[in-house]
Copies of this chain bind each other. A is one copy, B any other.
Amino acid sequence: MRLVPIAVPALLIAAACAQPASPPPVPDPQVLMEADRAFAAAVAEGGTEAWVSWFADDGAQITPGAGEIRGHEAIRENMAGLDDPNYSLRWEPLRADIAASGDLGWTTGSYVSEGIGADGQAKRGQGRYVSIWRKQADGTWKVVMDLGNPTSS
C-alpha cells in the first residue's frame, strides 16, 4: 500500500498532543467568603427557612448539648429560634479555604447572637464558628457541616 502524503504534519500534531492541557484555574476561596456573607444576609431576612435552605440535603450542624443534627427537618426544628422576632444571629466570615478541585471548602468567622433570656433580660452571645461547604450538582454552594463555640455568653 502506498502512503498518501498528508498535508498536516503528523509530528506537529504529536507535539501539540504531548503538551499538557493548560492547568485548570485555581479556585478562589473568595467565592466562599461571598457565599457565607450571602448566607448571613439571607438568614437576617428570612429566619429559619433561609437557614435551612443554605444547607445541603444531608447537611448537619453540631449544637452544644444536642450533638449532631442532620437533614433539613432536624435542622429546621433546632433553629426555630431564628423566627423569634426578639432573637438575631449575625456572623461574618474571617477567612476561607477551598480545595484545588473547587468542590469542597470551609469558612471560619465570628458570630453574635442577641435575644431575651428566660428571665426577661437581654442576652448576648458571641463566638467563633466553622462552616464546611460543598458545591452542589447545580453549581450552588451549600453548607454540609456547621458548628461554633461561644467566647462569652
Contact = CB atoms under 8 A, between A and B. Distances in A.
Nearest to A64: B149
Contacts of A130: 62, 130, 132, 145, 147
Contact of A149 (B4, B62, B100): B62
A128 B68 contact: yes
A10 interface: yes
Looking at chain A's contact residues, the main secondary structure is: strand
Interface stretch (A35-43, A83-91, A101-109): A101-109
Interface string A20-63: 00000000000000000000000000000000000000001011
Contacts of A11: 6
A130 B61 CA distance: 10
